[in-house]
Amino acid sequence: MQTVNSDGLYVAFLFFGRWEMKHLTPQNEEIISAGIDIGTSTTKIVISKFTLMNMAGGAHMPRIEIINKDIIYRSPIFPTPLVTSTIVDIEAVDELVRLEYIKAGIRPEDIKTGAVIITGETATKKNAEEMIHHLSDYAGEFIVATAGADLEGIIAAKGSGAYEFSKISRSRVIANIDIGGGTANVAVYKAGKLCGTCTLHIGGRLIRFSDDKIGKISEPIKNLLHEWKSDLKEGRTFSLTEIESITDYMAQVIGRMLKRELTATDKNLLLGHEPNWNECINAIMFSGGIGECIYQYEKNSSDPQSFNDIGMILAKSLTTASSLSDWEWIRPQETVRATVLGAGAHTTEISGATIEVEKEDLPIKNLPVYEICFENDFLKGIKKIPFAIKEAIDMYDSYNEGQNFSIYFSKIPHIGFKEVHQLVDCLLNSMKQVKHSDVPLVIVLESDLAKVVGQTIKMIQPKQKIICIDQIQVEHGDYLDIGQVLQTNVVPVVIKTLTFHQ
C-alpha cells in the first residue's frame, strides 16, 4: 500500500447516512498578516488577509489549511528613511508604519502573523536588532525582523510569482532574479521545489549620480573598477557609454551566474556562496526595483529616473543583453513589491490542529531548530536523543543563559503508545541537562503526534511548560516563530530558512 501522509487524502468511506463529525471548533477563520520590506532604496508595506479552513472530511481529525490569501492594502513605495547610507532611520520607519496601518484601517493587535524583512545593503545586524526592538510596539507583537541573502531570494521568488509558475509548469526550471538597489537575489525553482540560491552585488543604486557627476560608488563596484584599471571615480563627470559598459558587464555576470560559470573577476560581485543548484535553467523572471524599471507596473509611483542612479541603464542592459536572450523571459506578477508580498503572504505556515500548547507561553520568536532524525528506525532515533540534546545545549545555550531552542523530530516511524512513553521518558531525562526549567520545552514533530506526546509529557511532569506542535517541516538550523493560538486551534508558524541544503 502507498504510505499516506497523516494529513493526506484518503479513500472516502460511506457512513450509511450516519452523521459525521463537524464544527467542534470553528471551521473558518480569517487572520491578518503584515509584510514590511525595508530595502536599500525603498520601503513598502502590504497587509493581507488569510482565510483558514478545515479541509478534512467530516469524520476525520481537523486539518486546517490556508485556502485563500487576499491582499487588502498596498502602501505606496516609500524611499527608505536612512540616517547614513547603511543605517536605517528607525524612528522614521516606525512613524511610516504607524501611518500606513491607520490608512489600512488596522490596529497592530489585529495582526496575527507576518514578517519584516530588511534587505540589500541595509540588511545589517545592527539595523535588524533595532528593528525587532522598535517595530513590535507598532507593527504587532508576533512580527519578526529577518535578513539573509538566501531567504531574501526565496521570499522574492514567492512574491514575484516564480514559485507559482514552477508549480504549474512542473518541468521547467525557473530562476527568479530580484534586483533591488544593492543586491540581486536569485532563487531557482523546479516544480515548487527550491533548487538553489545565489546573491550578487548587482543593483540600481551601486552607482549614484549627483547632477552630472558620479555621486557615490559602492565598495564591490570600486573593487571591480580597480581591477579594470578604470579611472571612473566619485565626483568625476561621466559618459553614458562608461556606465553602460559596467551595466552590460553586470548583465553578462547574471548570464554566467545562471549557467554557473562565474569567472574569477565576476566573483568580485558575488555575495556569499556560489550558485548551488544543479539543474539547467529554462526560464527567467526579473522582479524587484529593476524588474519595475523593465516592466513599469507601478503607474503612479515616482519616475524611476528621479532616483538618480543606474537603475534604468541596468534595466536596458538586461533587456538587450544577448547573454540573457537564450532563456525564456516570464513576466513577473509583481516587480518592486515581490519581496514585501513574499514576506507578508508567503512566510506563514499552519500547524496541525491537534497540538498541545499553553496560550501564556506564546508567541515565541527566533527559536533555533535542532533536528533529531529517526530515519524511520525508532530505536536508532531514541539512542540519538541524549547526545543530541547535549549538542543542542552546547550549540545554542553554551553559557546557560536560558536561550531556548526547539527540538524537531523527523522521520519517526509508525509508533505505538509504549513507544511514545519511551520517547518522552528519554527526552525528559535528557532535558535534565537544561538548567533553566522555567523556559517551555518546544517540540516540533513532522508526523501527527503532537497531542499524544504533549499529553504524555504533562502526565509525567505536570509542571513542565510545553509547546508541542506537529505537521510542520523545518530543517536543522532554521529559525522558528510560533504565533498565538488561533480560534481553529492551530498556531501560525513562520519558518526562517537561513541555511540551505543541496
Partner 1 sequence: MNPELVETITKLIVEKLQTVYHLSDEADDTAKLLPESVKLWNTKSHDENGKNHGFTFEHASERKEDSDQLVKFSDYTSAPNVTEQKEKAESKKSPVQCEEQMVQDGIEQPFNQEELESLISKTPARIGVGRAGLRPKTSTWLKFRYDHAAAVDAVYGNVNEELLKSLDLFKVNTLVTEKEVYIRRPDMGRKLSDEAKNMISSKCVKSPTVQIVVSDGLSSKAIDANLEDVFLSLQQSLKSIGLDVGTPFFIEKGRVAVMDDIGELLRPKIVVLLIGERPGLVSAESLSAYLCYEPRIGTIEADRMVISNIHKGGIPPVEAGAYLGTIIQKVLKYEASGVSLVQKEG
User: Cβ of residue 21: shortest distance to partner 1, in angstroms?
Assistant: 4
User: Cβ of residue 200: shortest distance to partner 1, in angstroms?
Assistant: 29
Give just the sign of the alpha carbon dihedral 77, 82, 85, 87.
negative
SS3 474: coil
User: Cβ of residue 420: shortest distance to partner 1, in angstroms?
Assistant: 5
- CA distances (Å), origin 151, targets 1, 148, 155, 271, 343: 38, 6, 6, 13, 10
> Which residue number, 48 or 488, has a Cβ lying nearer to partner 1?
488
Decide if 309 contacts 230 (C-beta within 8 A): no
SS3 479: strand
> Which residue number, 170 or 299, has a Cβ lying nearer to partner 1?
170
The number of helices, as runs of H, and strands, as runs of E, in the chain is 12, 21
SS3 230: coil
User: Cβ of residue 376: shortest distance to partner 1, in angstroms?
Assistant: 13
On the CB side of 402, CA atoms within 13 Å amount to: 5
Crossing angle, helix 417-431 and helix 378-396, to 10 degrees? Answer: 20
User: Cβ of residue 162: shortest distance to partner 1, in angstroms?
Assistant: 18
> Which residue number, 103 or 501, has a Cβ lying nearer to partner 1?
501
> Which residue number, 67 or 72, has a Cβ lying nearer to partner 1?
67
> Which residue number, 11 or 264, has a Cβ lying nearer to partner 1?
11
> Which residue number, 314 or 427, has a Cβ lying nearer to partner 1?
427
User: Cβ of residue 362: shortest distance to partner 1, in angstroms?
Assistant: 18
Decide if 294 contacts 318 (C-beta within 8 A): yes
CA proximity to 488, closest of 58, 63, 40, 5? 63
> Which residue number, 17 or 306, has a Cβ lying nearer to partner 1?
17
| Contact footprint for partner 1 (CB under 8 A) | 1-6, 8-11, 13, 15, 17-24, 59-61, 170-171, 191, 354, 414-418, 420, 447-452, 454-456, 458-459
- How far is Cα 41 from Cα 335, in angstroms, rounded to an integer? 14
> Which residue number, 78 or 378, has a Cβ lying nearer to partner 1?
378
User: Cβ of residue 326: shortest distance to partner 1, in angstroms?
Assistant: 23
User: Cβ of residue 327: shortest distance to partner 1, in angstroms?
Assistant: 21
User: Cβ of residue 171: shortest distance to partner 1, in angstroms?
Assistant: 6
- Residue 36, strand partner residues: 45, 116
Grid cell listed for 41: 532604496
> Which residue number, 192 or 272, has a Cβ lying nearer to partner 1?
192
Burial of 75 (C-beta count, 10 Å sphere; 0-12/13-18/19+): buried
Q: What is the DSSP letter of 80?
A: P
User: Cβ of residue 457: shortest distance to partner 1, in angstroms?
Assistant: 10
Q: What is the DSSP letter of 329?
A: E
* DSSP assignment of 159-214: HHTHHHHHHHH-S-EEEEEEE-SS-EEEEEEETTEEEEEEEES--TTSEEEETTEE
**Residue 209: how many other CB atoms lie within 10 Å:** 15
User: Cβ of residue 453: shortest distance to partner 1, in angstroms?
Assistant: 8
> Which residue number, 207 or 449, has a Cβ lying nearer to partner 1?
449
CA proximity to 255, closest of 202, 207, 218? 202
Decide if 20 contacts 27 (C-beta within 8 A): no
> Which residue number, 420 or 439, has a Cβ lying nearer to partner 1?
420
